[in-house]
Chains A and B, each alone.
Chain A
Amino acid sequence: MTEQLQNIINMFQYDFMVRAIIGGILVSLCAALLGVSLVLKRYSMIGDGLSHVGFGSLAIAASLNLVSPLEFAMPVVVISAFFLLRLSSNSKIKGDAAIALVSTSALAIGITVATMTKSMDSDINSYLFGSILSMSERDMWFSIVLSVIVLALFVVFYNKIFAVTFDENFAKATGTRAGIYNMIIAMLTALTIVVGMKMMGSLLISSLIIFPAITSMRVCKRFITVMISSALVSVVCFFIGLTISYLYSTPVGASIVIVNLAALIIFSAFGGIINFAGKKN
């Protein structure tokens, strides 16, 4: 036990681990907050779609030997976010089908480009499933800036975000410009996904958006408590997952998702007990 503890403490001695911890915690926090709004608006799949677009654009950037693939991926994913949002709200192809079309296409293009360029062979795996080593110093700084923006947004515009999430038509009818809030949330989601993707893997990053919100909604009954609980659950699950990954050399993204799944099961059981007790009284 003390040996384990010593190992956990040692974790903080590596620069790459410190970066992974700071960057990862902040990305988890942003994803959880944005996720509450996305999940409640039935936009969860947008996160999934965006991560595939992110993979495609990273693959293209790498094959073109761009110095900073991230800077290439960001605008591409942000534009796709606006596009997906429009598709979901007004289109003849229904939202879920449209997102599946976009995400599989992006994945296909990404994989094709990546296999054509030999230098990328080893990277595909880490792009798809993530790598603990991938958080660079720039990524970490970027996640700090991003989380400050997201936190400020949710504190200052909490009431508007609530109104737009709960009932977009009512918010619009009473003069709130719902479209702008949707776009800001989509844009920040896109940036969060791009930053978190290299560590979590593009196939797994959307879990950070969806799991904490769903988990918190099992137990919490108010919007504000769902928000706070999601943020906490997300950060705690990330840290536990990362620690497990470090101690037992398991893949980092997958470990975090499994911890999130465990949290969901625990919260569901807890919520079930509360409901059962509530009905008895």
Chain B
Amino acid sequence: MKLIECENVSFSYENTEVVKNLNFQLNDGDYLCIVGENGSGKSTLIKGLLGLKQTSGGRIIRCEGLKAKGTGYLPQQTPAQKDFPASVFEVVLSGRLNSRGFRPFYSKQDKDTANENIKRLGIEELKNQSYRDLSGGQQQRVLLARALCASKQLLLLDEPVTGLDPIITDEMYRLIDDLNKNEKITIIMVSHDIGSSVKYASHILHLNYENSFYGTKEEYLKSPVGKRFLGSQET
């Protein structure tokens, strides 16, 4: 099933076009990694997919079901968040806000969902701890649990392993892979880590202004742009 389709999409940032004529289509169950050099518009594209930024050309088509359910989003952390006084449960529960509409308080069902996702990500013993006392990897898990509260269909992850050590990074990747394979959650991930991208993803989108590449992982590995990018990362 088609989830999101981009048709000749362009994005501008402060009057400079960063992405031009981008075409790709994302299906249910895909694991898409968005790679590219700094400033190639990865974060801009994520904002566009979330509806936080207007396209400057073309259009993004979302399937009907996706609009209603919303998207689970794992943003890059801001410095302000790192010392935010909030319990883990409060943070995870806030992912249910989109299901609330104008009703101001959370229902028991919302709290159950939050507890479920806390359990699924193995952070039960942290539930009543303060978010600011957690390690970077634990904080990412909490934010991932919150994203899962918002959507069981599509997760958008913006550089989810930034600042994590190799062991935690590996754990994080396996966790995301597990959500994709076993829970059938569609993943869109922005990543600098090309090695892990080609290891786990089913599709790769390599942003490069007008000549972006989109295809399956296998196609990417054979393409000139993929060979060059992988080669440059290995050295």
State the A residues within 8 Å of B (CB).
Answer: 40-42, 156-160, 162-163, 166-167, 169-176, 217, 220-226
B97 within 8 A of A: yes
With A166-B81, A175-B98 known as contacts, the answer to whether A222 contacts B86 (CB < 8 A) is yes
Contact mask for chain B residues 70-108; partner A; CB cutoff 8 A; 1 contact, 0 none: 110101001011001111001100110110100011100
With A41-B80, A166-B84, A170-B146 known as contacts, the answer to whether A159 contacts B75 (CB < 8 A) is no
Q: Give the chain B neighbours of A174 by CB distance below 8 A.
A: 70-71, 73, 95, 97-98, 150
Assembly CA distance A176 to B50 (angstroms): 12
Closest Cβ–Cβ distance, residue B75 to chain A (whole Å): 5
Assembly CA distance A156 to B51 (angstroms): 27
Q: Give the chain B neighbours of A221 by CB distance below 8 A.
A: 85, 87, 129-130, 132-133
Q: Give the chain B neighbours of A172 by CB distance below 8 A.
A: 50, 52
B104 near A157: Cβ-Cβ < 8 Å: yes
Q: Give the chain A neighbours of B70 by CB distance below 8 A.
A: 173-175
B85 near A159: Cβ-Cβ < 8 Å: no
Can you identify 16 A-B contacts, CB atoms within 8 angstroms? A40-B80, A40-B84, A159-B94, A159-B97, A159-B100, A160-B97, A170-B147, A170-B150, A173-B71, A176-B98, A221-B87, A221-B130, A222-B130, A223-B85, A223-B86, A224-B90
Assembly CA distance A169 to B156 (angstroms): 12
B146 near A217: Cβ-Cβ < 8 Å: no
B75 near A169: Cβ-Cβ < 8 Å: yes
Contact mask for chain B residues 181-202; partner A; CB cutoff 8 A; 1 contact, 0 none: 0000000000000000000000
Excluding A156-B104, A157-B104, A173-B75, 20 further A-B contacts by CB distance (< 8 Å) are A159-B97, A159-B105, A160-B97, A166-B91, A169-B73, A169-B75, A172-B52, A174-B70, A174-B73, A174-B95, A175-B98, A176-B98, A217-B85, A221-B87, A221-B129, A221-B132, A222-B85, A222-B87, A224-B90, A226-B85
Closest Cβ–Cβ distance, residue A174 to chain B (whole Å): 4
With A166-B84, A176-B97 known as contacts, the answer to whether A159 contacts B106 (CB < 8 A) is yes
Candidate in B84, B130, B133 with the most chain A CB atoms within 10 angstroms: B84
Q: Give the chain B neighbours of A225 by CB distance below 8 A.
A: 85
- Closest partner residue, chain B, to A218 (CB atom): B85
Q: Give the chain A neighbours of B100 by CB distance below 8 A.
A: 159
Q: Give the chain B neighbours of A175 by CB distance below 8 A.
A: 70, 98
B50 near A173: Cβ-Cβ < 8 Å: yes
A166 near B52: Cβ-Cβ < 8 Å: no
Q: Give the chain B neighbours of A217 by CB distance below 8 A.
A: 85
Q: Give the chain A neighbours of B133 by CB distance below 8 A.
A: 221
B52 near A173: Cβ-Cβ < 8 Å: yes
With A42-B80, A176-B97, A176-B98 known as contacts, the answer to whether A166 contacts B73 (CB < 8 A) is no
